[in-house]
């Protein structure tokens, strides 16, 4: 029998696309409504800086689920609508057009937005951030063979974008303000590897180069740096991180600390409001600390937990974080979190090949692994992290010794 209970999902992210059908699978018979300020069905965001930007995939190919799935599961999707407030006392969601929607359960999958920089010229035509589909569509209008593209930011998004645009024949320059690329997320050895690959592919990477202004008359012409160097540009793409969208939760009085605070069941400080994905902060029992993860897998896992919770099927969230990055013919798979490492063990030829694994150790404890074109090292690395037994760095580096032999049991 159909229930009159109402579940509203704010956002059309990976978490939302996972959560809505999962609710039906768990037995939710009430209404399900998804509210999004975009005008598209939920789509995969990682391809925006890869296949979509490179032109090898179109919108239909990056949709997370087909329209038929939402129809089959009787999921209502309101596009072009923005949630402006949560009235917790009356259990209503307020929209920008004044509508007040009643809910029994509310799920925030609001994701994150780009971190913006405040320098002269950022409003010129041809200056972009890359976070959503409309960003990627607009960038494609300004790029093509022999176009001069300057990317501000040498993190994964910047490097993925550089790779995609270089494959199209663009002349690409990456400016990184820190002493090296990928400074916050990888060891120097891995950063040096990616610097070599991009150089081989024809991308110019300049570290320790702070952009201070973008010049041009209405349209971008160049990027000026603190060093005095100036880089001509037909387009500028800025990728300097993201900020979680927590304002809606904070205004409603929910607990927020670098993300909407949720427990192991994806519940916020209000038992009838849950949250999942990039916008959340949760305690991870594996690393024994509070985490906010910008990860598709985290969004999917947390959304599944939230669906279970809403349907009174409590299953705690406890997962090893993992991520990936595609650049050229390289597939980087990252298992775990490397913060706190004091030793990096390289397995394979990182100096001349395109395949290796970097193991991040805190003394003899394995924290994380970066595996480039090495799926076995990634899979076994995950197991070794969860195994949590002391490891001998020399054995990890020894390619004649199978990684599998280091597993106990």
Q: Which residue has the tokens 């004091």?
A: 342
Q: What whole-number distance in Å separates Cα of residue 72 and Cα of residue 54?
A: 33
Question: What is the pTM (predicted TM-score) of this model?
Answer: 0.94
Sheet holding 171-176, edge to edge: 127-129, 235-238, 148-152, 171-176, 204-207
% of residues, the chain, pLDDT over 90: 94
How much is the pLDDT for 408?
A: 86
Q: What pLDDT digit, counting tens, does each position of 260-289 carry?
A: 999 999 999 999 999 999 999 999 999 999
Q: Which residue has the tokens 């980087």?
A: 332
Does pLDDT of 3 surpass 90? no
Q: What pLDDT digit, counting tens, does each position of 230-249 carry?
A: 999 999 999 999 999 999 99
**329-406 CATH, one of 1.10.1370.30, 3.30.390.30, 3.40.640.10, 3.40.50.980:** 3.30.390.30
**127-238 CATH, one of 3.40.50.11540, 3.50.50.60, 3.40.50.620, 2.40.128.20:** 3.50.50.60
For residue 259, give every residue at least 6 positions away whose Cβ sits within 8 Å of its Cβ, in sequence order, or none: 244, 246, 279, 280, 281, 282, 292
Q: Count other C-beta atoms under 10 Å from residue 216's C-beta.
A: 16
Per the document, the length of the chain is 409
Confidence of residue 1 (pLDDT cuts 50, 70, 90): very low
Dihedral of the alpha carbons of 372, 374, 375, 376, in degrees to the nearest 10: -140
Q: Exposure string (b/e) for 79-95, b if CB count within 10 Å is 16 or more?
A: eebebeebeeeebbbbb
Sheet holding 105-108, edge to edge: 75-79, 31-36, 6-10, 105-108, 273-275
Using DSSP's 3-state secondary structure scheme, residue 201 falls into: helix
For the segment 184-192, the average pLDDT, to the nearest whole number, is 96
Residue spans in the chain of domains classed CATH 3.50.50.60: 6-113+243-310, 127-238
Q: What fold is seen in the domain 6-113+243-310?
A: FAD/NAD(P)-binding domain (3.50.50)
Supply the mean pLDDT for the chain: 95
Is residue 115 within 8 Å of residue 139, measured between CB atoms? no
Residue spans in the chain of domains classed CATH 3.30.390.30: 329-406
Does pLDDT of 161 surpass 50? yes
Q: What pLDDT digit, counting tens, does each position of 332-375 carry?
A: 999 999 999 999 999 999 999 999 999 999 999 999 999 999 99
Q: What whole-number distance in Å separates Cα of residue 379 and Cα of residue 394?
A: 20
Q: What pLDDT digit, counting tens, does each position of 45-70 carry?
A: 989 998 898 888 999 999 999 999 99
């Amino acid at each position: 029998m159909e229930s009159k209970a109402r579940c509203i999902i704010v956002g059309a992210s990976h978490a939302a696309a996972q959560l809505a059908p999962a609710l039906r699978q768990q037995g939710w018979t009430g209404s399900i409504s998804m509210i999004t300020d975009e005008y598209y069905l939920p789509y995969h965001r990682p391809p925006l800086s890869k296949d979509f930007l490179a032109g090898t995939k179109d919108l239909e190919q990056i949709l997370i689920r087909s329209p038929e799935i939402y129809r089959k599961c009787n999921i209502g999707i309101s596009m072009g609508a923005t949630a402006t407030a949560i009235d917790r006392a009356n259990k209503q969601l307020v929209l920008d057009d004044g509508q007040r929607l009643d809910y029994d359960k509310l799920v925030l999958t609001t994701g994150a937005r780009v971190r913006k920089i405040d320098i002269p010229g950022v409003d010129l035509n041809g200056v972009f951030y890359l976070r959503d589909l409309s960003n990627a569509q607009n960038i494609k209008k300004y790029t093509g063979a022999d176009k001069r593209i300057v990317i501000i930011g040498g993190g994964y998004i910047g490097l993925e974008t550089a790779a995609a645009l270089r494959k199209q024949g663009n002349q690409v320059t990456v400016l990184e303000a820190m002493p090296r690329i990928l400074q916050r997320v990888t060891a120097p050895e891995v950063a040096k590897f990616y610097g070599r690959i991009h150089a081989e592919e024809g991308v110019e990477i300049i570290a320790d180069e702070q952009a201070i202004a973008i010049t041009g008359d209405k349209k971008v012409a160049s990027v000026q740096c603190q060093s005095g160097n100036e880089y001509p540009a037909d387009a500028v793409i800025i990728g300097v991180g993201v900020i979680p969208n927590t304002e809606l939760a904070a205004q409603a009085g929910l607990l927020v600390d670098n993300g909407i605070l949720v427990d192991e069941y994806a519940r916020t400080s209000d038992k009838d409001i849950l949250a999942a994905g990039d916008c959340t902060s949760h305690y991870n029992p594996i690393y024994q600390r509070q985490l906010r993860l910008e990860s598709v897998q985290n969004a999917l896992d947390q959304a599944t937990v939230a669906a279970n919770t809403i349907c009174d099927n409590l299953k705690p969230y406890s997962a090893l974080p993992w991520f990936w990055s595609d650049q050229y013919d390289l597939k980087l798979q990252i298992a775990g979190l490397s913060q706190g490492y004091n030793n990096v063990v390289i397995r394979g030829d990182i100096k001349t090949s395109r395949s290796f694994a970097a193991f991040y150790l805190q003394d003899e404890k394995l924290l994380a692994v970066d595996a480039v074109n090495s799926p076995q090292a990634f899979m076994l690395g995950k197991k070794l992290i969860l195994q949590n037994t002391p490891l001998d760095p020399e054995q990890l580096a020894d390619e004649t010794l199978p990684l599998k032999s280091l597993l106990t049991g």
